[in-house]
Amino acid sequence: MKIAVVYNRNTGNVINLFGMPNREKIGLKTIDRIVSGLKTGGHQVIALEGDKDLVDRLEEFMPRVVKGERPGLVFNVSYGVQGQARYTHVPSILEMVGIPYVASGPMAHSLCLDKVVTKMILRQHGLPTPDFAVLQTPDAAVPELQYPLIVKPKNEAVSFGLKVVENEAEMRAAVRVIHDEYRQAVLVEQYIRGREINVGLLGNDPPDTFPPVELVFGEGGPAIYTYEDKTGRSGRSISYACPAPIDAALIEQAQEISRQAFTALGCYDCARIDMRLDADGRLYILEINSLPSLGEHGSYLVGAAAVGLDFPKFINRLVEVASARYFGTPSPPTVTPSKADPSAHVFTYITERRDRMERRLGELVKLRSRTADPLGLQQAFKEVGDLFEELDMREAPDLSDSDVVETWQTRAGLDGGILLIGNLDVPVEHQFPPQPFHREPEWLYGEGIGSSRAPLVMIEYALRALRSLRRLRHLPLGVLYYADEGEDARYSAHEIRAAAARAKEVLILRPGLVPDKVVSERRGQQTFQLSVETDPMELGRSVRKADALRWTWRKLEETAGLSSQADRIAVATLDLRAERHPMHTPHRVTAQIAATYPTAAVGETLARKVRGILGKGGPRWELVEGTVRPPFVDRPAARALVDELAEVARRWDISLERGASRWPSVAGLVPPEKACVCGIGPVARDLRTPREAVKRITLVQRSLLLAEYLVGRLKDRDSS
């Protein structure tokens, strides 16, 4: 499990330092011991400061999960930065953003930190606690209590400001110090002469109790555990006796009232109840530590050790306790290839490897293979070839061309099966600098990450999941990768058509549309190269005829007027270049025009209209047709396949909708009678720009969706 140890030591990374600062600090040695202990338990661990950047860091470390996947956990040892009820700050943030955590929630922390409220709740539940009074100011009326009294801040921990007083003068002085230094009300409590007994608790409903621990005080000072004692500044030694040397009935009573106090204050997972035992054998609860110290020599760990929990065992047991509270079981059930349910297997296989998937994605982003980079494309083909060879898939020579397209198939072959199609080239212009891989909480960035790399990772891990079931070889499946997406698949179109004709179903690994759509309809696209030429004209000479640039610009404006949002037609100029002699107006102009349209018939009509606008007469012009990408027209078989995928997605609470795109794809090359879905890859944005990004959670979601779809096809094959 991913576990983030969240603590507070530094106070600088906040918007403002405002309000009462936290004086309670956890030691670096303790943090290191917690991290080390969790790692021995097999967890993936990070330590984070609980400041204003906490949510972003947690989201990067433990991103959003899919239904059924156990999220990461926070091991909370944060005392807060500043202000009131500071123990509640990190747990409140974690509850807001939906991250499970160890130890009590905001409510219990708030109640336990307020010693007066704690005592009132204890009294309401019939639990013993010393008589007390609250002084709001140093000059408040003297409480009707007998000396000696113990004076302490109302809302502090670690024995800050704790002092035993023997008379009113000492009491007034102590109250004034606390009031001035801590700026809060003062708790004045009857001092119980006797022995100090602590009981640690671990678990829930009901919690287990450790044996009571007695604090044995050395010579000098009162028999109370002061801040100076806890920080080693008192000059006296404090030792522990565990189990406390008290009779069995008293031990049982101490443990029982500790459990009752734990429940009354609404604590979770762990706590330490501090008590006093008077000469008559009566126990009094002093306070409840909802975040007990995990320092090496604290009484809480002494109690844990007494029941056989050394530090690593205790730390990991505490994680199990919190996991049981959130997930209903201390540890997730192990799903292996021998289990009967292959769906559960692929789910576990993929969700447990999300870190590997992201690392793999980063490696592939480093592999440069832009459309115009033959060496990079050669290396990319070698990379995927090695992958599919490892997966025991074989190349299909009749559906491959080593320069632009290669196809691999399982031992069951491609015919009548499933064809997955993706592109290896990154269609980015050469002038853009390479974009490195980097992560944000919700998005993953890098060159070609959406258009090429994330779909490849998705295929890899979906197929690895099936191979781990030892079933991949039995599934009729082919994977075709081409390397001329940036040239509108003009060279790979023949092999793509041939491969699609042999398959029963085709999935195009283009990225999904924001927010969570696959594509069952895409426009077609045609490009034109327009060349216009006139005689050179001297600059400044008055002529009636328009020069080549002016004439071309007017015609291009007319062609743009053919665009119609209602008819799903767009015509645009993509490039315009002019040539001229010095001191002459342009005499030669070239322009690249692109048109998108919903059907092939509309595309043919549009081409005729463009030629009609250029007309006869005027300058010499030539219009050469460039690449043509057929439209992917909505078809019943595609809608049925999307509905089937959506049903798979619903089982994992994955959002999946059917959508249409203005961008063309190789889906238009798939025969119209075939079931075909495009945009099955992870959801992406800003394609073909330096800000290209993949929605992080969809890398896992779409991998799981593809794997589950393939498992379904295996089940269909088995049943037939």
CATH number of 2-101: 3.40.50
Average of per-residue pLDDT across 69-77: 89
Residue 210 exposure: Cα atoms within 13 Å on the Cβ side: 30
pLDDT (0 to 100) of residue 34: 96
Fold (CATH) for 344-522+633-719: Aminopeptidase (3.40.630)
Full-model pTM: 0.75
Contacts for 297 with CB less than 8 Å, ≥ 6 apart: none
Asked whether the predicted pLDDT for residue 635 surpasses 70, the reply is yes
Q: For residue 601, give every residue at least 6 positions away whose Cβ sits within 8 Å of its Cβ, in sequence order, or none.
A: none
Residue 244 has pLDDT above 70, yes or no: yes
* pLDDT of res. 159: 53
Distance, in Å, from the CA atom of 634 to the CA atom of 568, rounded to the nearest integer, reads: 14
Identify the pLDDT of residue 343. 87
Give the C-alpha separation, 113 to 104, whole Å: 12
| CA pair distance 274, 362, nearest whole angstrom | 51
**In this predicted model, what pLDDT tens digit does every residue of 593-602 receive, in sequence order?**
999 999 999 9
- What is the average pLDDT value for the chain, to the nearest integer? 90
Residue range(s) of every CATH 3.30.470.20 domain in the chain:
111-130+192-327
Please provide residue 188's backbone torsions phi and psi, each rounded to the nearest 5 degrees: -110, 120
Q: Could you give the CA distance from residue 630 to residue 37 in angstroms, rounded to a whole number?
A: 60
What is the reported pLDDT for 337? 35
Is 80 exceeded by the pLDDT of residue 654?
yes
Per-residue model confidence (pLDDT) at position 338? 40
Q: Where in the chain is the domain with CATH 3.40.50?
A: 2-101
In degrees and rounded to multiples of 5, residue 213 shows phi and psi of -115, 125
Q: Where are the alpha helices (DSSP H) in 522-668?
A: 548-560, 600-614, 636-651
The yes-or-no verdict on residue 230 having pLDDT over 60 is no
Residue 15 confidence (pLDDT) above 80: no
Residue 31 pLDDT: 94
Query: Whole-angstrom Cα distance, residue 121 to residue 133?
Result: 15
Interacting residues of 168 by C-beta distance below 8 A, sequence separation 6+:
142
Q: What residue type is 175 in one-letter code?
A: V
565: burial class by Cβ within 10 Å (0-12, 13-18, 19+)? exposed
Closest CA to 347 of 355, 336, 338: 336
Residue 246, CA atoms < 13 Å, CB-side half-sphere: 28
Q: Where in the chain is the domain with CATH 3.30.70.360?
A: 527-627
State both tokens at 341. Answer: 């349910």
**Which residues are CB-neighbours of 386 under 8 A, at least 6 positions away?**
none
- According to the model, what pLDDT value does residue 334 have? 37
Nearest alpha-carbon partner for 151 in 82, 199, 222: 222
Can you name the residues that pair with 505 across neighbouring β-strands?
418, 675
Q: What is the pLDDT of residue 231?
A: 56
Mean pLDDT of 438-460: 95
Spatial separation of the C-alpha atoms in residues 647 and 658, rounded to whole Å: 12
Q: How confident is the model at residue 428 (pLDDT cuts 50, 70, 90)?
A: confident
Which sign, positive or negative, has the C-alpha torsion 516, 518, 521, 525? Answer: positive
Query: How far are the Cα atoms of 396, 397, 659 from residue 413, in angstroms, in the given order?
Result: 9, 13, 31
Q: Are strands 195-203 and 207-209 parallel, antiparallel or unpaired?
A: antiparallel
Size (the chain), residues: 720
Bigger pLDDT: 86 or 684?
684
Higher pLDDT, 652 or 531: 531
Residue 23 has pLDDT above 80, yes or no: no
Give the pair of three-digit tokens for residue 420: 């997955």
> According to the model, what pLDDT value does residue 132 have?
93
pLDDT in tens, 149-171: 999 888 765 456 688 898 989 88
- Specify the pLDDT at position 327: 79
Whether 331 has a pLDDT exceeding 50, the answer reads no
Burial of 595 (0-12, 13-18, 19+ CB in 10 A): buried
Average pLDDT over residues 105-124: 94
pLDDT over 90 at 381, yes or no: yes
Is the sign of the CA dihedral 259, 265, 271, 275 positive or negative? negative
Sign of CA dihedral 177, 181, 185, 191: negative
Residue ranges of the chain assigned to CATH 3.40.630.10:
344-522+633-719
Stated as kind and residue range, the H or E segment containing 76 is: strand 73-77
Rounded to an integer, what distance in angstroms lies between the CA atom of residue 186 and that of residue 190? 13
- Give the chain's largest Cα–Cα span: 119
Distance CA 678, CA 518 (A): 6
CB atoms within 10 A of CB 157: 22
pLDDT tens digits along 555-611: 999 999 999 999 999 999 999 999 999 988 899 999 999 999 999 999 999 999 999
User: Given this model, what pLDDT does residue 156 score?
Assistant: 67
> What is the per-residue pLDDT across 546-557, written as a single tens digit (0 to 9) for each?
888 989 999 999
Instruction: With beta carbons less than 8 A apart as the criterion, state whether 87 and 291 touch.
Output: yes
Q: What is the pLDDT of residues 397-418, one digit of tens each?
A: 999 987 899 999 999 999 999 9
Strand segments, DSSP code E, in 425-523 are 438-439, 443-445, 477-482, 505-508, 511-512, 517-522
Cβ distance 71 to 63 under 8 Å?
no
Q: For the domain with range 527-627, which CATH number is right: 3.20.20.80, 3.10.20.600, 3.40.50.300, 3.30.70.360?
A: 3.30.70.360
Dist. CA 99–CA 91, nearest whole Å: 9
DSSP label of 435? P
Cα separation, 29 vs 671, whole angstroms: 66
Spatial neighbors of 540 by CB under 8 A, at least 6 apart, are none
pLDDT band at 229 (very low <50, low <70, confident <90, very high): low
pLDDT confidence of residue 195? 93
Superfamily of domain 111-130+192-327: ATP-grasp fold, B domain (3.30.470.20)
> Within 13 A of 557's CA, how many CA atoms are on the CB side?
6
Closest among 425, 434, 594, 413 to 499, alpha carbons compared = 413
Whether 444 has a pLDDT exceeding 60, the answer reads yes
